[in-house]
Amino acid sequence: MASPISADDLTLSEKASLASGADAWRTKPIARLGVRSVMMTDGPHGLRKQVPGAEQSGLGESVPATCFPPAVGLGASFDVDLVERVGAAIGLEAALEDVAVVLGPGINIKRSPLCGRNFEYFSEDPLLSGALGAAMVKGIQSAGVGASLKHFAANNQETDRMRISADIAPRPLREIYLRGFEHVVRQARPWTVMCSYNRINGVYSSQNRWLLTDVLRREWGFDGLVVSDWGAVDDRVSALHAGLDLEMPGGDGRTDQQIAAAVESGDLDVRILDATVERALELVRRAGERPAPSTALDVDAHHRLAREAASRSVVLLKNDDETLPLTSAARLAVIGAFATQPRYQGAGSSLINPTRLDNALDEIRALSEAPVTYAAGFSLDPASDATALRDEAVQAASAADTAIVFLGLPAEAESEGFDREHIELPVEQLGLLEAVLAANPRTVVVLSHGGVVALPFADRVPAILDGSLLGQAGAGGTADVLFGEVNPSGRLTETVPLRLEDTASFGNFPGEQGHVTYGEGVLVGYRWYDAKNLDVAFPFGHGLSYTTFSYGDTQAVMRDDDVLIRVPVTNTGQRAGREVVQVYVSAPESRLTRAPRELKAFRSVMIEPGETVEVELTVSREDLAHWDVESDCWRVEGGSRVFGIGASSRDIRGTAVVQVAPDSSTAPLTRSSSLEEVLADPLAAELIRQTVFSMSTQMPGVAAVLDDDVMMRLMASFPVGRLPGYGGLPITSEMVDGLLAAANQARAAGAGETR
């Protein structure tokens, strides 16, 4: 058997050629050595492989593929198994088209509801984003096709996206914006990671050695290939230094020449280039090891999966007086242009050419035994007669038992490439709804949108279904939920605010003069609303069912270093249904800025009527850690943790308290350390007490100060290096230095014993 090709077998020009694409979608081949070209195509909720001859640099026609619910919809399932199944289907379709890498999933945080690309991202929460992202990667790669985790990192807006600097402090950068990526890299081992366009704290992601090498490779152990977002490279040689392997799309060979020249001049160590070459060759090897698919695409089966995923992604926001589910004998008026012209995916590079496309009117009629009338109510064509359309809708609603009004954002309102300016639905749609409500109070609203929208009518409409974007079978999935063929189980992955002004990033989005300040710190999404005690329209994690669930006593126990939570959940209604059990953790004794509660585990559980299921969830010790700025590492604070179990971030059904042991500090105490910081360390505090006690004859009042809460609060922030001579205290610099040295030595010895 021939030895595998390595970097040593390539000439310098051949090595440099593997660092950029051959065209918009393919890597460069090396015919002399039999290294073939492999193809990457857009995702992430389906395959967007452009047909031969389509404009390479544009968004031309693509081959038919199943359009599954985008992340804004699929994320609402809160179901890692379902997401993995969808990923496997996407991977199979990619394999059938001889695609090596699907460019997805996207797991960036929904920092602001205005981000034009929020439809491509899962959540405002990093744990949920990371768990669902890992499931998608595992699914895609189970078919022998690589995934490309994107956009690494802090790609949270479209305004000036090619240049904007996301200026983020270390704690939120680690705890919010990198944490999901870390989880996916460690748990799912994606073949590739795609760097983002933006800068982070002034440095382009493509040229950020700290991000691509220190964190991604050395700290997280990533061993795959780093690819640029299309057009994200500003300086190719600097990017190669930083750890970016593949520049996409391909060009005229100019940057290949720059790389070769840098090696020849000594400005670039050839070993850096060789490492990139080995990763490029490994990608080609992985793609070549995939066996040819044994069957053709089962379009019907994938459409059924898309429908299942869509129905599981619908969120029942409100259902007063059991307005839903509908009965098949009810006279229905279906109103709204989206009922016949579905809004089912976002716009931009993820635009899928669906294998088929359902519409809600047809699907509702298929499940109804009574006549179903339809009125557009509004038009997606601004030249239409709005008054006549509204009058027609009012007439239809007046004659129906129930009116179903389809509202949402038109495609031109949100897209890759620009951000929204507000979160309001179109004025003509809101006016239509008011007229329909006046004609028939028994009205159901169905929403279609890629980003959160304000719901000023929520207190007056008896039932609201949030359909976000649900893919090609979304209309069928919505009909299934409307008629109770599927019991809704979706949950909000993003808080629905009352006003844009209430959002955490308001005033710090989208920035100016090339910079955007992430001034809200770690208080992103529901963390912000809870910390500020703000009312919201609907909270993170919220979603209703056609049945009811009760929670028993919550138990939480330590299992090794993790916390095992058990809670019995009973279906107390008449229908089988899914409950999404969510675990939120509070740290009431923390000295850090923290949200009142943070999601740390979740599980979607199917429960039959009258059945009780004991649900087990695990919270890892790692997920209890915060990023410690002083020691530049993850640390767990000691003290109590309150584990709240519930059905949303604001619907906690039970709690349990566990005492958590602290991590030993690795940051040495110095003369700049405050008295509070020194006394917070058990070893240092004990040394100080022993010293003060031994000198009590010289300092009769000082010993009492340590137990005086008022004085300690006053002196808490005082640097210990300034104590000598302060207020006549008989404390010398030598004494302080000796105490610090002894404390640091004892801490180091203690840390060594625990390793």
* Distance separating alpha carbons of residues 63 and 37, to the nearest angstrom: 20
* Distance separating alpha carbons of residues 503 and 520, to the nearest angstrom: 10
Site of tokens 């279609």? 448
Query: Under a CB-based contact definition with an 8 Å cutoff, are residues 71 and 119 in contact?
Result: yes
- State the pairing for strand pair 192-195/146-152: parallel
Which tokens belong to 304?
Answer: 């059924």
- State the pairing for strand pair 626-628/633-635: antiparallel
Tell me the H-state helices in 501-578.
Answer: 526-531
Closest CA to 39 of 148, 167, 126: 148
Burial 353-377 (b: 16+ CB within 10 A, else e): bbbeebbbbebbbebbeeebbbbbb
- Cis before 354? omega within 30: no
Query: Under a CB-based contact definition with an 8 Å cutoff, are residues 145 and 99 in contact?
Result: yes
- Residue 205 neighbours by CB under 8 Å, 6+ apart: 152, 153, 154, 195, 196, 197, 198, 199, 211, 212, 232
Return the number of other C-beta atoms located less than 10 Å from residue 746's C-beta: 16
Query: Under a CB-based contact definition with an 8 Å cutoff, are residues 573 and 591 in contact?
Result: no
Query: Under a CB-based contact definition with an 8 Å cutoff, are residues 250 and 28 in contact?
Result: yes
Name the helix (H) or strand (E) containing 408: strand 402-408
CA dihedral 327, 445, 452, 61 (to 10 degrees): 80
Return the number of other C-beta atoms located less than 10 Å from residue 696's C-beta: 12
The DSSP output letter for 178 is I
Given 42, 79, 167, 229, which residue is catalytic? 229
- State the pairing for strand pair 639-648/651-660: antiparallel
Q: How far lies 239's CA from each of 155, 204, 222, in Å?
A: 18, 9, 17
* Distance separating alpha carbons of residues 213 and 449, to the nearest angstrom: 37
- Residue 220 neighbours by CB under 8 Å, 6+ apart: 182, 185, 186
In the residue annotation, 229 being an active-site residue is answered as yes
Query: Under a CB-based contact definition with an 8 Å cutoff, are residues 525 and 110 in contact?
Result: yes
* Distance separating alpha carbons of residues 544 and 87, to the nearest angstrom: 26
In the Cβ-directed half-sphere of 419, how many Cα atoms lie within 13 Å?
Answer: 18
Closest CA to 128 of 86, 81, 80: 80
Return the number of other C-beta atoms located less than 10 Å from residue 675's C-beta: 18
* Distance separating alpha carbons of residues 310 and 288, to the nearest angstrom: 34
- Which active-site residues does the annotation give? 229
